[in-house]
Amino acid sequence: MRFKLAFILLIVFNFSTQAQQTEKPPLHGKNWMAITGKPLSAEAGAMIFQKGGNAVDAACAMLAAGCTMWDVLSWGGETQAIIYNPNTKKVIAIDALGVAPTGATPEFFKNKGYNFPPEYGPLAAVTPGTPGGLCVMLAEYGKMSLKEVLEPAMQMAAGYPMEEQTATSIERNKKHIKEWPYSKTIFLTHLGQKWEAPEAGEIFVQKDLLATLQKMIDAEQSALKKGKSRKEAIYAAYDRFYKGDIAQEFVRGSREQGGLITMEDLAKWKVMIEEPLKTNYKGIDVYKLQQWSQGPMMLEALNMLENFDLKGMGYNSSRYINTVVQAMQLAFADRDFYYGDPYFSKDQPMKGLLSKEYAKERAKLIDPEKNNPNTGPGDPYPYEGKKNPFENYLKERGFAFNDAPIEDNYLDMLHRGTTSIEAADKEGWVVSVTPSGGWVPACIAGHTGVGMSQRMQSFVLDSSYNPFNVVAPGKRPRVTPTPSLAMKDGKPYLAFGVQGGDTQDQNLLQCFLNMVEFGMTVQEASEAPNVNTDQLWLSLGGTKIDDRKPKPGFLLVNSNTPDWTRKELRKMGYKLSFSERTSGPINAIYFDWKHGSLWGVSSNHGEDYGIGW
């Protein structure tokens, strides 16, 4: 896990007007910026920019490269994006999250002895979303062809030198990989030897994936020869993946290994172009995805925190930490009960949940003296003039918790990674993407070379846990990936994202507050120590109900936290654990309108970085 990387903290914070020392320098550019989880993926974005592509083209190239490199995701996963269109001055959201397949019901999984859908294998898969999401973003908002944008990924599929991190992940997960014949053939290049995964630096070849990508390009090029437009030709590639021979092999390979996905499931699924949700925090509009993601949780927390003098409390003082943590916990409690697929349920109380009035009432529950270990969902329905139809569930639910000590397996489930992509250009296009799914160990679907998603595990099987997120065919699970975009004075202010499962919006919230409340530069804000609460229902992992229950008062803080702050937090009821890294790699682009330039950053953690010009 990237969260286990250890470095010596060098940052000194006095938050004067001058920039402080950071472990990584910020990138500066005036024409474009490309930031993502792997240096080679960032280079793919730079290649597209250098050929005249816009930020959407570059983001699509980085997405394709990251999937091909198994950067904690693959082609069968899901893509979530927020895009600023400078031509319309509008912020739009891309929902390319797959859905549960035919036969995926609570009864199906319960009859197999599951408390949640499984973490791994073909039964963990929703329909693939990333190929469709990439095609829709490119067709609607890019300017290049699919062939041009996929060229770096094609070169990688033909063979690229694998990083040590990915090689180690494959070796560590080879027991699972050996359960699936197509995965074993592709991943375990030294089968039978002591080290069976590829070695660091070894040229890793994916012939099946290369053939799949070539089929998509062939469909595009054939359509262009027939006189179709650029957009129509890209959608021809989309159709070949979801309705043609690629789909047929994907379904065959999935079902051979025990999966449920059908041709009809693939053909019926489609990418949604949506209006994102937003709130305003002290004059800054913050945009997040709709409630099929956890993104609105950050908006709820900001609405609550607006009622406090955070700056006056002092950065990472015990009072500040206690206030921010309780706001996050209240927002998580609402997330865990009310969020789900809006296309399945039209009566989700998002208007109430994101109202400033509701936030003021929730903020009254924040105790300045101690943590509340019994945080539960609120009742936002009266703020929409309605009666809560789930009062009985709220009464039945009580305050479920797991007070067992923190173990490595729990941390893995809490922080389970993805990647993030940030891109911007001088024309004004801005893209923030948090793609995920199909991570190692991935079950590869037949001879497609495509690793299937594992996102089914984010559903629940019992309405009392979340009436809006019970698994059903054709339904999207409530997921963790959560890209972000902030606008100020009608112009882009900050595009930002991070990996890390349920910790994503915790880290992004604090990064944002570091800049807005404490005047940090974007690089300082990305590297600054923050805190992670475990008082939430886990979205990933765990085979038992107890595995996912909230852990009241459990808090991860930075190893450099002063003794007096530790003492005060413990008096407030917190159970502390420590790490030199309290955040996944935050990637961000800050828009410096004073100087007409872009700041690109990745935090001092992991392999994430970028290129700017």
Span 346-360, pLDDT tens digits: 889 999 999 999 999
Residues 465-481 have a mean pLDDT of 97
Residue 61 has pLDDT above 90, yes or no: yes
CA angle 193, 194, 199 (to 5 degrees): 85
Give the whole-angstrom CA distance, residue 443 versus residue 314: 48
Upper half-sphere CA count for residue 232 (Cβ side, 13 Å): 8
The 3-state DSSP class for residue 485 equals strand
pLDDT at 50: 98
Residues 432-442 have a mean pLDDT of 96
Beta-carbon contacts of 179 under 8 Å, excluding residues fewer than 6 positions away, are 121, 443
Domain boundaries, the chain: 277-380+397-416+482-612
Phi, psi of 261 (to 5 degrees): -65, 135
Span 67-91, pLDDT tens digits: 999 988 999 999 999 999 999 999 9
Residue 416 has pLDDT above 70, yes or no: no
Residue 13 has pLDDT above 90, yes or no: no
What 3 state SS string does 243-310 have?
Answer: HCHHHHHHHHHHHHCCCCCCHHHHHHCCCEEECCEEEEECCEEEEECCCCECCHHHHHHHHHHCCCCH
Residue 551 has pLDDT above 70, yes or no: yes
Span 301-347, pLDDT tens digits: 999 999 999 999 999 999 999 999 999 999 999 999 999 999 998 88
Burial class (CB in 10 A: 0-12, 13-18, 19+), 312: exposed
* Residue 226 CB neighbour total at 10 angstroms: 10
Residue 8 has pLDDT above 50, yes or no: no
State the maximum Cα–Cα separation within the chain, in Å, rounded to a whole number: 72
pLDDT at 394: 82
Nearest CA to 339 among 466, 505, 460, 454? Answer: 466
Residue 561 has pLDDT above 50, yes or no: yes
Whether the bond between 467 and the residue before it is cis, its omega within 30 degrees of 0, is no
User: What's this model's pTM, rounded to 2 decimal places?
Assistant: 0.94
Span 226-237, pLDDT tens digits: 999 999 999 999
Span 270-298, pLDDT tens digits: 999 999 999 999 999 999 999 999 999 99
Which of the four pLDDT bands, split at 50, 70 and 90, describes residue 413? Answer: low
Give the whole-angstrom CA distance, residue 12 versus residue 204: 41
Strands 554-558 and 575-579 turn out to be parallel
pLDDT at 593: 97
Structure tokens at 558: 């930075």
Q: Tell which wins on pLDDT, 436 or 413.
A: 436
Burial class (CB in 10 A: 0-12, 13-18, 19+), 308: middle
Residue 403 has pLDDT above 80, yes or no: no
Beta-carbon contacts of 258 under 8 Å, excluding residues fewer than 6 positions away, are 121, 122, 123
Question: Residue holding tokens 């999250």?
Answer: 97
Residues 535-554 have a mean pLDDT of 91
pLDDT at 410: 63
Which of the four pLDDT bands, split at 50, 70 and 90, describes residue 254? Answer: very high
The 3-state DSSP class for residue 530 equals coil
pLDDT at 346: 82
The top-scoring range by mean pLDDT among 2-6, 149-153, 341-345, 402-406 is: 149-153
Positive or negative, the Cα torsion across 585, 590, 595, 597? positive
Query: Would you say 604 and 23 are in contact if contact means Cβ atoms under 8 Å apart?
Result: yes
Mean pLDDT of all residues belonging to the chain: 93
Which of the four pLDDT bands, split at 50, 70 and 90, describes residue 18? Answer: very low
pLDDT at 544: 87
Give the whole-angstrom CA distance, residue 514 versus residue 332: 21
Span 215-225, pLDDT tens digits: 999 999 999 99
Give the whole-angstrom CA distance, residue 432 versus residue 83: 6
Is 3.60.20.40 the CATH number for 277-380+397-416+482-612?
Answer: yes
Residue 396 has pLDDT above 90, yes or no: no
Nearest CA to 422 among 35, 95, 155? Answer: 35
Sheet holding 32-36, edge to edge: 272-274, 90-96, 79-85, 430-433, 421-425, 32-36, 609-612
Phi, psi of 492 (to 5 degrees): -55, 135
pLDDT at 7: 30
Residue 607 has pLDDT above 90, yes or no: no
Give the whole-angstrom CA distance, residue 472 versus residue 99: 9
